[in-house]
Structure 1
Amino acid sequence: MLLVIPARGGSTRLPMKPLRSIAGISLLHRTIGLARRAVALLDDASLVVATDDAAIAAHAGAIGCDAIMTDAAISSGSGRALAAALTIAQRPDIVVNLQGDAPFQSPLAVSAVIAALARGDADVATPVVRLDWPALDALRRHKQDTPFSGTTCVRAADGRGLWFSKQILPAMRDEAGLRAEPVSPVWRHIGLYAYRLTALEAFEAAPQTELERLEGLEQLRLLELGLTIETVEVAPARFDISGIDTEADIVRAEALIAEHGDPLDDR
């Protein structure tokens, strides 16, 4: 299997985002550190950075991680992961897209989604965390400043992903009554996908859908293609931050590191 970190330079909200520093360590370095811990838990897995920028490739090399240059016209992280996979002589059956802006998740989430694909017949597997009420309240406060940071998931009882949104779903008609329960009905999506290679090829062969464009979520294309996404429940990471999309996310991440310690020190 192949773990790919897509790392493009052209982010509109945070240009050259992979090279941005968080508490003195680049975002890409942090994501590579996470990926290395995940690879150590797996059999026969390799790791590569897929980028469209020579400076990012050079930075990955300086950290000791292989990098593959991919076409700048590729519009999604999943497409970049496929481009990297297709450069390998022995094509991997499973490709893991470890999104480069989510370096604070648990390495165990990677092995969990791979195990889900191995035991079932889903096309894609991705992790989710069920939010307790304080975590949901924190997500709501965060979205007041950065409404498109953080993704929620609506899932069936068997774990099949039904929908993903930048809105907080589902809406709750009687939230006051629901708060008697220890956890909310809201699931936050973690930015990580394990694909069967055939599913990844189908994704890239299809055009972007309108719903995908509106939400800015590539997994909606998979659902509209009729592919199945298994959502795998995982425990929250040491501190819960959905991803690094804005300057405010960097400030928040640095504050959490100062309060709780740096997950990269666990390596």
Structure 2
Amino acid sequence: MVIPARYGSTRLPGKPLQPIAGRMLLERVAALAIAAARQLGDAEVLVATDDERILAVARGLGLEAVMTASEISSGSGRALAALKATGRSAGLVVNLQGDAPFTAPEHIVEIVQTARASTADVTTPVVQLDWARLDALIAHKQTTPASGTTCIRDGAGRAVWFSKAVLPFMRKPAELRAAGPLSPVLQHIGLYCYRTPALEAFEAAPQSAYEQLEGLEQLRLIELGLDIRAVIVKPARITMSGVDSPADVERAERLIGELGDPFVDWRR
């Protein structure tokens, strides 16, 4: 599994080295990656960066790390470049979000296990929202419309579509709410396990039409006709999208203070 760790960030330069409650963002993501790798038993963790400072810090933490070109714009592209830089031939490549310190290791394990047991080109996790979480997502979108991505999947678990809109539209929401605690809305978690040929096909293709419209790179996968399995997982203990700004750092630290710190030091 690869952790893309790019130095440049408009709102939070040097983001991977940003401390959050006493632990660098990179350190936090590495800890959850290593926890997942240990559960899987035969997975490796690799940091892919474009900056010598991050490279030095990663290696100082005891992590394997490689340099990749600064012009690579996507995490998936950096993951593929890292794989090539090491000369590895991996059947499956997990692209972790380098700015998501609360990703549940169990989510990584579940998408890898699904990939191993299926012929899917890509596996990715989704959470079926209860009504309270759905209401919170809708409220958040009033001020930040591009926050949160939803997913539609078919009966076999294949992703049909992803959107920044809340899908599906519900004509009779009151009846649905009375029927049970879970809404029909699946929220996507930006974590992917690729078969290497699928990752190569994704990177070789130009941005697709709907990808550009919604700003969602996973729509390129759908427009390429790839088989994406959306795996329903339980919500993480701490739920938060990526750390992209000083305000996000403050929110992450507040959540840690309220809910406890999930960080587990793998070096002990």
Tell me the TM-score normalised to structure 2 length: 0.92
Cα distance, 1:178 vs structure 2: 1.5
> Distance between the aligned counterparts of 1:132 and 1:164, measured in 2?
19
What does residue 5 of structure 1 align with? 3
Task: Say whether the 8 Å CA contact 1:150–1:243 is kept in structure 2.
Answer: no
Cα gap change, 1:122/1:195 in structure 2, threshold over 3 Å: closer, same or farther?
Answer: same
The answer as to whether partners of 1:150 and 1:166 remain within 8 angstroms in 2 is yes
Alpha carbons of structure 1 residues 155 and 74: separation in structure 2 relative to 1, 3 Å: same
Distance 1:46 1:193 in 2: 15
1:100 counterpart residue number: 98
The letter of the residue matching 1:120 is: S
Q: Structure 1 residue 215: deviation in Å? A: 2.3
- Say if 1:30 and 1:144 are closer, same or farther in 2 by CA, change over 3 A: farther
Aligned twin of 1:184: 183
One of 16, 21, 35 as aligned partner of 2:19: 21
Question: Which portions of structure 1, spanning 4 or more consecutive aligned residues, are displaced by more than 6 angstroms?
Answer: none
How far apart are the structure 2 equivalents of 1:255 and 1:143? 21
Structure 1 pair 69/208, CA: closer, same or farther in 2 (3 Å)?
A: same
C-alpha spacing 1:37/1:252, structure 2 compared with 1 (3 Å): same
Matches within 5 A, 1:20-169: 20-169=18-167
Structure 1 residue aligned with 2:203 = 204
Is 1:102–1:191's contact at 8 Å kept on the other side of the alignment? no
Question: SS where residue 167 of structure 1 aligns?
Answer: coil
Q: Secondary structure of the residue that 2:225 maps to in structure 1?
A: coil
Residue 119 of structure 1: how far off its partner (Å): 1.3
Letter in 1 for 2:259: H
Aligned length: 265
The RMSD of aligned alpha carbons is 1.7
The range that moved more, 81-90 or 67-76, is 81-90
Gaps of 5+ in 2: none
Greater CA drift, 11-20 or 41-50: 11-20
Hey, what's the Cα distance between the residues in 2 that align with 1:209 and 1:97?
20
Q: TM-score, normalised by structure 1?
A: 0.93
Conserved 8 A contact 2:31-2:264:
no
User: Which deviations, in whole Å up to 9, do the C-alpha atoms of 1:37-68 show, x marking residues without a partner?
Assistant: 01111132111111112222222122221111
Structure 1 position 265, deviation (Å):
4.1
Q: What is the percent sequence identity of the aligned residues?
A: 58
CA distance in 2, matches of 1:114, 1:196: 10
Given that 1:99 and 1:191 are in contact with CA atoms closer than 8 Å, whether structure 2 keeps it comes out as: yes
Equivalent position SS for 1:179: helix
Pair 1:255-2:254 in alignment = yes
CA distance in 1, matches of 2:11, 2:176: 36
Gaps of 5+ in 1: none
